[in-house]
Chain A
């Protein structure tokens, strides 16, 4: 089965939620919709599910126009951000509920429910009701409900966002395994680049209702085609400093000379923005080629075992991500180092001019 979205636009109350989306998903593919809050991820999922009708455009499933077809007549399953289960039914009956109307014999229902429950480690909870489960177990039940009917289209709308860190990690790994064995089209939305990378497959980078980029997830991470796509696909958002190349010499930010070697060789004269991810910045020089950038500390945010240092440099600002806990006082001078081999070069219109060579083999 293949799912095609053709020129889909969704306007609600004068507000455009989706603009001319064209996408194709193949059978057995794993797809991540990556975008920030309000980027249109959920709107797109709902249209794919048939819960909403697009304002214009078509949904083609297996070559058939399914745009106006009711959700009841489609083979889909969906997992929500909230833990959606039937409140008064036991876990067993919850998982069995999508099979009730299919007319599958009882024995087969029982087998599939138990199999799915086992896959999600719910075997011991089958007699409980959702209110007696932890959040993680409730979401496992909801995922089991979605998986049990073997739908052709499996939609997951930020399913792990309401879980705590540990449970999220755990379920993420399990979900990858589960998706691998499915022949369904899996579409998974997330705001987190790291989650998208972990799930792999293909990615659709969404922003303000527009598709910024599509392709293999790893490739999209290594070569974000626009600065905006790079921002969405980096957490914290990618840093960009105004730069200019004149007469073969490059200057970045507040008069920092950048040697034009490696992938930066052959940059034509003009204005650019040199972009780099926060995790490529260091507090000490790592190699001889490192550039030093000085600035003042605006804020140091300690998050788990990492520190995010917000640095003000000339007219712009950037974020440094460091392993470990580094207390920095506001207003202090700071020097950070970066190897220019990590630079992405974007033109003034935000288009990719040069990207760092990928380490591994890529398409």
Chain B
């Protein structure tokens, strides 16, 4: 009895355990279960071992989607991070300007993803969209702008969407990081006669390391999982040009009902995201430590 009383605290952990079990462990294990079986119908499945994994790892369509995904995520990061930092640096530090810019920045973050897709589809439509009609009236493009006309047009539209949607998050994070730097740092730099580039390079950037790590990880993961925007825009087209990993996965799972391969794919997808987050985190943890001034 006494031992029982001493261990009552375990009950406090129980709710968390139940929540995690239902939200993560059970669904994940279901996927693991599917990935090892060939499913013909309800109650009709055959254990196939690692066959689906082998199939998926050698699937050229998956390789292509993965390649596209890497290019897309890298391009998006290369635009969003510097742009976010620039916006944060340019934002007013106090007064009504600061509040106004914070609210303005937050607007894209509040809009649901599929609505953003719709907004941009309308915006870029060649018949009624402001951008579509505008750019075509300039007659600069050999093929008139229409996101279903050329892969590059679809890509430009998608990137614009993603950058418009998520740069504000990076900017807000950086802004918070910048505001946390004590005024004395800037004074000390002034006394040293440091240029504004040196202030950015040796004070602001290192002091933003923490928030930038979070921003890069979040944006990498999220852009790697992009689904709603290409789905709304062209459903992965034209051709397969915007068929990213998640689009391909959904086609496989709910389009073709290949649950086994799709489950194996999901796990591989998950591990890739995890692996890259780990790599980024390690790299960001150690970058620029004890660097030399030039």
Interface residues of chain A, those whose CB is within 8 Å of chain B, are: 46, 49, 51, 71-72, 76-78, 80-82, 84, 86-90, 93, 96-98, 100-101, 127-129, 145
Is B293's CB under 8 angstroms from A84's CB?
Answer: no
Is A101's CB under 8 angstroms from B289's CB?
Answer: no
Is A101's CB under 8 angstroms from B192's CB?
Answer: yes
Tell me the nearest residue of chain A to B292, going by C-beta.
Answer: A93
Q: Does B112 contact A (CB under 8 A)?
A: no
Instruction: Give chain B nearest CB distance to A13 CB in angstroms.
Output: 13
A129 and B182 in contact, given A71-B190, A78-B187 (Cβ under 8 angstroms): no
**CB contact between B290 and one of A46, A77, A98, A128 (< 8 Å): that residue:** A128
Is A80's CB under 8 angstroms from B184's CB?
Answer: yes
Is B206's CB under 8 angstroms from A87's CB?
Answer: yes
Q: Which residues of chain B from 275 to 291 have any CB-CB distance to chain A below 8 Å in the complex?
A: 288-291
Q: Does B193 contact A (CB under 8 A)?
A: yes
Is B206's CB under 8 angstroms from A78's CB?
Answer: no
Q: Which residues of chain B from 183 to 236 have any CB-CB distance to chain A below 8 Å in the complex?
A: 184-185, 187-188, 190-194, 202-203, 205-207, 209
| Cα–Cα, bound, A90→B190 (Å) | 20
A86 and B292 in contact, given A51-B190, A78-B191, A97-B192 (Cβ under 8 angstroms): no
Is B207's CB under 8 angstroms from A87's CB?
Answer: yes
Is B191's CB under 8 angstroms from A77's CB?
Answer: yes
Residues of chain A with a CB closer than 8 A to B187's CB: 46, 49, 51, 78, 80
Residues of chain B with a CB closer than 8 A to A71's CB: 190-191
Is B293's CB under 8 angstroms from A89's CB?
Answer: yes
Residues of chain B with a CB closer than 8 A to A101's CB: 192-194
Most buried by B among A82, A87, A98, A128: A87
Residues of chain B with a CB closer than 8 A to A93's CB: 291-293
A-B pairs with the 5 shortest C-beta distances?
A: A88-B206, A87-B206, A80-B184, A90-B290, A84-B188
Tell me the nearest residue of chain B to A49, going by C-beta.
Answer: B191
Residues of chain A with a CB closer than 8 A to B291's CB: 88-89, 93
Residues of chain A with a CB closer than 8 A to B206's CB: 86-88
Known: A87-B202, A98-B191. 16 other contacts (CB 8 A): A46-B187, A49-B191, A51-B187, A72-B190, A78-B191, A81-B184, A82-B184, A86-B202, A86-B206, A87-B203, A87-B206, A87-B207, A88-B289, A89-B293, A93-B291, A97-B192
Instruction: Give chain A nearest CB distance to B292 CB in angstroms.
Output: 6
Residues of chain A with a CB closer than 8 A to B202's CB: 86-89, 97
Instruction: Give chain A nearest CB distance to B179 CB in angstroms.
Output: 16
A72 and B289 in contact, given A87-B207, A88-B202 (Cβ under 8 angstroms): no
**CB contact between A82 and one of B182, B192, B193, B203 (< 8 Å): that residue:** B182
Is A84's CB under 8 angstroms from B184's CB?
Answer: yes
Is A88's CB under 8 angstroms from B190's CB?
Answer: no
Subset of 5 A-B contacts with CB under 8 Å = A49-B191, A78-B187, A88-B202, A97-B293, A101-B192
Tell me the nearest residue of chain B to A74, going by C-beta.
Answer: B191
Residues of chain B with a CB closer than 8 A to A97's CB: 192, 194, 202, 293
A78 and B290 in contact, given A86-B203, A101-B193 (Cβ under 8 angstroms): no
**CB contact between A76 and one of B185, B191, B194, B207 (< 8 Å): that residue:** B191
Tell me the nearest residue of chain B to A142, going by C-beta.
Answer: B188
| Cα–Cα, bound, A71→B289 (Å) | 30
Residues of chain A with a CB closer than 8 A to B191's CB: 49, 51, 71, 76-78, 98
Is A127's CB under 8 angstroms from B188's CB?
Answer: no
Instruction: Give chain A nearest CB distance to B269 CB in angstroms.
Output: 35
| Cα–Cα, bound, A82→B185 (Å) | 9
Tell me the nearest residue of chain A to B287, going by C-beta.
Answer: A88
Instruction: Give chain A nearest CB distance to B185 CB in angstroms.
Output: 6
Q: Which residues of chain B from 129 to 167 have any CB-CB distance to chain A below 8 Å in the complex?
A: none
Residues of chain A with a CB closer than 8 A to B190's CB: 51, 71-72
Tell me the nearest residue of chain A to B181, going by C-beta.
Answer: A87
| Cα–Cα, bound, A49→B193 (Å) | 13
Instruction: Give chain A nearest CB distance to B194 CB in angstroms.
Output: 8
Residues of chain B with a CB closer than 8 A to A89's CB: 202, 290-291, 293
**CB contact between B188 and one of A46, A78, A100 (< 8 Å): that residue:** A78
Most buried by A among B185, B192, B194, B292: B192
| Cα–Cα, bound, A90→B289 (Å) | 8
Residues of chain B with a CB closer than 8 A to A77's CB: 191
**CB contact between A88 and one of B188, B194, B288 (< 8 Å): that residue:** B288
Is A84's CB under 8 angstroms from B290's CB?
Answer: no
Residues of chain A with a CB closer than 8 A to B288's CB: 88
| Cα–Cα, bound, A82→B188 (Å) | 11
A100 and B293 in contact, given A87-B207, A89-B202 (Cβ under 8 angstroms): yes
Residues of chain A with a CB closer than 8 A to B290's CB: 88-90, 127-129
Tell me the nearest residue of chain B to A86, going by C-beta.
Answer: B202
| Cα–Cα, bound, A88→B294 (Å) | 13
Instruction: Give chain A nearest CB distance to B11 CB in angstroms.
Output: 40
| Cα–Cα, bound, A93→B207 (Å) | 17
| Cα–Cα, bound, A72→B199 (Å) | 14
Tell me the nearest residue of chain B to A51, going by C-beta.
Answer: B187
Residues of chain A with a CB closer than 8 A to B203's CB: 86-87
Tell me the nearest residue of chain A to B294, going by C-beta.
Answer: A100
| Cα–Cα, bound, A80→B184 (Å) | 7
Residues of chain A with a CB closer than 8 A to B292's CB: 93
| Cα–Cα, bound, A71→B191 (Å) | 6
Instruction: Give chain A nearest CB distance to B173 CB in angstroms.
Output: 18
Is B184's CB under 8 angstroms from A98's CB?
Answer: no
